[in-house]
Amino acid sequence: MWKNYLKIAFKVFLRRKFFTFISLFAIVFTLLVLILTSSVLDHMLGNHPPESRFNRILGVFRVQLFGEQMFINSSPGYAFLESCLRDLPGAAADCILTEGRESNAYINQAKLPLNIKHTEASFWDMMDFEFLEGGPFGPEDVRQARHVIVINEATRDQYFGGEPATGKFMDLDGRRFRVTGVVANVSRLRNVCFADVWAPLSLLLTDTFRAQNFGSCRGLILVPDPADIPMVKQEFAARVRLFQEANAKEYNRVESWAELYLESIVRESGSFGKAGVTGFFVIIFFMMVLFMFIPTLNLVNINISRIMERESEIGVRKAFGASSRALVVQFVTENVLLTLTGGLVAVVLAFFLLQAINDSGLLPYAQLTVNWRVILAGLALALFFGMMSGVYPAWRMSRLHPAQALRGGER
Amino acid sequence: MTRHLLKLIWNRKKSNVLLILEVFGSFLALFFISLMSLHYTDNFRQPLGYEYRNVISVDMNYARSLDPADGERNMLQARELLRAVDQFPEVEAAAATFFPPFTSSGWWDDDTDRQIQWQMVPATLDLDKVLDLHVAEGRWFEQADEALDWRPVVINRELAEAYFGDESPLGKYIHGHTDYRVVGVVPSFRKKGDLSVAENIMLMFSPMRDVENDIVPQTLLLRVRPGTSAVFEEKLLARLKQLAPDWSFAAEFLAAIRERALRDTLMPVTIGAIIVGFLIVMVAFGLTGVMWQNVTQRTMEIGLRRAQGASVRSIFRQILTELLVICSFGLLLGVIVIIQFPLLDQLGEFSLRIYSLSIILSVLVILGFAVLSGLYPGWLATRIQPAEALHHE
C-alpha cells in the first residue's frame, strides 16, 4: 500500500514539473531560513567547546544597588563578587573575569584592535579551550601578577605572522606581555568566553578596583550537575542578602542573579516577565510559525490546485470504495514526502551557505555548522510544515463527490 | 464585465480566500521592508550637522565611583589629558565629551511639565572646531563662559522649535533637572548618525572645573591633520597611558565607528529584504501555478466564450483582470490594516510622507508581480480552441 502511495506520488510529481518546482522552491526556501536560524541559535546557546559545560555554568552578569538617593544598575564589581561568589556550597569552581574591552596592539605601523578579558586561573579549568600550543597561565602567574597572556589563533597569525608564539613577547597598550599559549578562535557570539587575548585579573587589582561593588566584572560558577542549579542559586541569593545586611548603610536593597547565560539575556530583554526562558522559546516558536504563514498558504494553494487536477483519479478511487481517511493519508504522505525532499535539499544548501557565512567574516570567528541537532530541528520543521500545508487540501480532496469528480475530470 | 468577474471570483471564494490571505501577508512583509529602507534612505540624505572625517575618538575608561573625592581626581586627570593631547602637532583641535557621535548611548534630560525630552552632549570649548559646527543663530561658547553663574547651552534647531516654537530661543531658559540658558542654535545635530532621525540635542558647556555642576568626560575628540594615520594613534595612546597609568584608552577614527554603526543597522534590514524578496518571488510562482490550473480547469467556459465571439485579447484580459482583482482584495485588506497606525497617530519616528510612499511602492510592486504571474496562464487561455472545448462536453 505504502509502496503504491510512493509510486503514485512520484508519478504525480513528474507529471506537473512546474508545480513540483514551485512547491520545492517554497519548501526549500522556508526550511533554509529556519535551519539557518536554528544553527545560529545553537551556535550561541549550545554546549560547544570551549563552553562544553555551558548548561551548568551560572554567571553573575548584573547587580542592582538601591540606595537613599541613587540607583545603580551595572555589571558587578570585584568587591561584590568577592563577597557573594566565592566557594558557594554545592559549586565546583568559581571565577571572576572582566567583561572584555577593546585594546590595541600595533604592528608595522598598523593598528590591530584586540578584545581583552582579564581572568583568574580557574577560568581555564571551567572552560575547555583547545590549546594549539603552550598552555594557560597558572595560579602562580596570577598570584604574582605576571605580565602573561593567552592569545587566540587569529592574533597569532596577525601579530606573529603564524609563527609559534609561545614564550614570545607582545606589546599591548604600551605594556609588554609574554605569551604562554595559543588557543583556537572563540566566536564573538559566545559572549561569556570570547576574547582575542586573555590576561591575569590580578594585573587590574588596584585598591580602587578591589573596593568596587559595581564595575565591569562578571562572576562564573561551575555547578557539578544541572540538577544542583536551583540549590546553588539559592545559596547565591542568601549571600546577596548577607551582603546587603553588611552594607545596609549604603544600600536599602541589592538585587543580583546567578543565572544561565540564556536566562540573563531573557531577563535583560525584560519582555518575557515571569514566563522567562519558556516564554523566550514560545516567542521564538511563534515567530517561526508566523514566518511560515505565507509559504504555508502558498503551498496550500498549490496543493489545492493540484488536487483539482486529479479530480478524476480521486473520483475513480472513491467509486471503488476508498475511504476518505485513506485518501487523506495518501495525500498527506505525498506532501510530507515532498517536504522531506525539500528538507534534504535545504540542509545541503544550508551547509554551503553557512560555509560562505563563516568565510565571509560577517560573524567574527563564528564556525556555524550543520550538526545533528540542527538537522533534527530541520527534520522536525519539515514534518511540521508538511502536515500544516497538507492537511487542509487533503480534507478538501476527501470531500469531493465521486460522481461529480468523475464527470468534471478534465482532459 | 467587472460585475461578471466579481461573480466568478465569488463562485470560487473558498480557494480565493486563501489567495487573498497570501497576497495580504506578502504585502505586509513587503510594506515593512520598504518602509524601513525608504526611512533609512531618506534619513541618510539629510545633513548630519557635523563633520566626522579626520576626527579621532579616544574612549577613556576609568574607575567610576560615587565618592566626590574620586570624581575630583578624575576630573583633574581628564583636564590634564585634554591639555596634553592638544600639544601634538598632528592635532588641530581637541575637545572632550561624554558619548561620541554614532553611538546610541546617551544621556537624556527632560522638562517634565512640557513633556519635552532632549539628549545632553557635554561640550568643551573647542568642540565646534573639532566637529566643524556652525552656529546659525547666537554664538558658540567662549572662555569667559567659565565665570558665568548660569549654565550656557547651545541647542539644535529641533529642540528650539519644540521648546520655543517660532520665537527666538536666544537668552531664554530651558528647564530640565536644572535651568539652562540658550546662547546659540545649531542646525540639526544627528548624534546617532546617518540613519537616525533628528533628535533634540542640547550641547552643554563643560568647563571641566568641578564635579558638582559638570560631568567627568569619557571621550576625547581630536581633529587631526588630513592624512594622519594609525601610527599617530599609537603615539597618542602611549602618551595618555604615561600620563594616566590607571586608566585605559581605546582610540578609533570616527569614520570607522560610523562605518560599523551603518553596518550594524543595515544588516538586519538587508537580511529581511533578501527574505522578503524570496517570499515575493515564491508567491508569484504560486499565483502562476494556481492561475494555470484555474485556466486548464475552465477550458469549457473559456471555449464557450470564444465560440460566442470573444476575441483572444478579451480572454487574455479576463484572466489577467481576475488575478488583479483577487490581489486587489488582499492589498485592500493590507492597506486597511496599515492605515490604522497613522489614523491612531502611532507613526513613531516615521514621517507620513515616507509611510504613504511605502504603501504606494508596495502596492505597485505586488500588482507588478501579479501581472507577471498572469502572463503565462493568460497566454494559455488564449490558446484554447472553441471546437476542442465544446467537444469536451
Quick one: pLDDT at residue B392? 60
Quick one: pLDDT at residue A239? 95
Quick one: pLDDT at residue B219? 93
Of the pLDDT bands very low, low, confident and very high (cuts 50, 70, 90), residue A410 is very low
Strand partners, A60: A219
Relative orientation angle of helices A276-309 and A261-269, to the nearest 10 degrees: 90
Mean pLDDT score, A382-395 = 82
C-alpha to C-alpha distance for B291 and B112, rounded to whole angstroms: 59
Of the pLDDT bands very low, low, confident and very high (cuts 50, 70, 90), residue A274 is low
- Which residues in B2-107 belong to E strands, given as ranges? 55-61, 91-97
Mean pLDDT score, B236-253 = 86
C-alpha to C-alpha distance for A131 and A83, rounded to whole angstroms: 32
Pairing assessment for the beta strands A71-76 and B137-138 based on DSSP bridges = unpaired
**Cβ pair B296:A101 closer than 8 A:** no
**What does the pLDDT look like over B322-373, one tens digit per residue?**
899 999 999 999 999 999 988 888 888 889 999 999 999 999 999 999 999 9
C-alpha to C-alpha distance for B373 and B287, rounded to whole angstroms: 6
**Cβ pair A102:B233 closer than 8 A:** no
Q: Which of A26, A174, A411 sits opposite B238 (nearest CB)?
A: A174
Q: Does the beta carbon of A19 lie under 8 angstroms from any beta carbon of chain B?
A: yes
Amino acid at A250: E
Q: Does the beta carbon of A158 lie under 8 angstroms from any beta carbon of chain B?
A: no
Q: Which residue does chain B place closest to A210, by CA atoms?
A: B63
Contacts of B273 (CB under 8 A, 6+ apart): B33, B37
Amino acid at B94: A
**What does the pLDDT look like over A240-253, one tens digit per residue?**
999 999 998 888 99
**What does the pLDDT look like over B77-130, one tens digit per residue?**
999 999 999 999 999 999 999 888 998 777 888 888 889 999 999 999 999 999
**Cβ pair B234:A106 closer than 8 A:** yes
C-alpha to C-alpha distance for B202 and B187, rounded to whole angstroms: 12
A306 neighbourhood in chain B, CB within 8 Å: 293
Quick one: pLDDT at residue B277? 93
CB neighbours of residue B307 within 10 Å? 13
The answer to whether residue B52 scores a pLDDT higher than 70 is yes
The answer to whether residue B391 scores a pLDDT higher than 80 is no
Q: Which of B29, B230, B297 sits opposite A308 (nearest CB)?
A: B297
**Cβ pair B282:A25 closer than 8 A:** yes
Q: Does the beta carbon of B19 lie under 8 angstroms from any beta carbon of chain A?
A: yes
A299 neighbourhood in chain B, CB within 8 Å: 286
The answer to whether residue A411 scores a pLDDT higher than 50 is no
C-alpha to C-alpha distance for A30 and B275, rounded to whole angstroms: 9
pLDDT averaged over every residue in chain B: 89
Distance from B166 to chain A by nearest Cα, in Å? 38
CB neighbours of residue B192 within 10 Å? 19
3-state helix, strand, coil in chain A (%, to 5): 55, 20, 25
C-alpha to C-alpha distance for B247 and B234, rounded to whole angstroms: 16
Distance from A231 to chain B by nearest Cα, in Å? 33
Q: Does the beta carbon of A29 lie under 8 angstroms from any beta carbon of chain B?
A: yes
- Residue B154 near residue B167, CB atoms below 8 Å: no
The answer to whether residue B13 scores a pLDDT higher than 80 is no
* Domain ranges within chain A, ordered by starting residue: 2-48+277-408, 62-258
**Cβ pair B275:A33 closer than 8 A:** yes
Cell of A342: 525539500
- Residue B206 near residue B217, CB atoms below 8 Å: yes
- Residue B276 near residue A129, CB atoms below 8 Å: no
Contacts of B204 (CB under 8 A, 6+ apart): B120, B121, B122, B123, B151, B153, B180
The pair phi, psi for residue B334, each rounded to 5°, is -60, -45
DSSP tag of A160: S
Of the pLDDT bands very low, low, confident and very high (cuts 50, 70, 90), residue A35 is confident
A293 neighbourhood in chain B, CB within 8 Å: 25
Where b means 16+ CB within 10 Å and e means fewer, A115-136 reads bbbbbbbbbbebbebeebebeb
Q: What is the pTM of this model?
A: 0.81
Q: Which residue does chain A place closest to B232, by CA atoms?
A: A109
B293 neighbourhood in chain A, CB within 8 Å: 19, 305-306, 308-309
**Cβ pair B65:A208 closer than 8 A:** yes
**ipTM, 2 decimals?**
0.74
Rg (CA), chain B: 31
**Cβ pair B230:A106 closer than 8 A:** yes
Distance from B17 to chain A by nearest Cα, in Å? 10
Q: Which residue does chain B place closest to A203, by CA atoms?
A: B246
Quick one: pLDDT at residue A407? 67
Mean pLDDT score, B212-238 = 87
**Cβ pair A173:B63 closer than 8 A:** no
Strand partners, A148: A178
The pair phi, psi for residue A314, each rounded to 5°, is -65, -40
- Which residues in chain B belong to E strands, given as ranges? 55-61, 91-97, 108-111, 116-123, 137-138, 151-156, 173-175, 179-186, 201-205, 219-224, 248-253
Quick one: pLDDT at residue B332? 95
Q: Which residue does chain B place closest to A290, by CA atoms?
A: B25
Quick one: pLDDT at residue A275? 67
Whether cis (ω within 30° of 0) applies to the bond prior to B169 is no
Of the pLDDT bands very low, low, confident and very high (cuts 50, 70, 90), residue A409 is very low
Cell of A310: 486529479
Q: Nearest CA to A102 among B215, B383, B251, B327?
A: B251
B294 neighbourhood in chain A, CB within 8 Å: 305
- Residue B119 near residue B202, CB atoms below 8 Å: yes
C-alpha distances in Å from residue B121, one per residue of A247, B106, B192, B226, B330: 35, 8, 12, 26, 48
**What does the pLDDT look like over A164-210, one tens digit per residue?**
999 999 988 778 999 999 999 999 889 899 999 999 999 888 777 88
C-alpha to C-alpha distance for A410 and A292, rounded to whole angstroms: 33
Quick one: pLDDT at residue A209? 81
Q: Does the beta carbon of B250 lie under 8 angstroms from any beta carbon of chain A?
A: yes
Of the pLDDT bands very low, low, confident and very high (cuts 50, 70, 90), residue B250 is confident
Residue with cell 476527501: A398
Distance from B391 to chain A by nearest Cα, in Å? 11
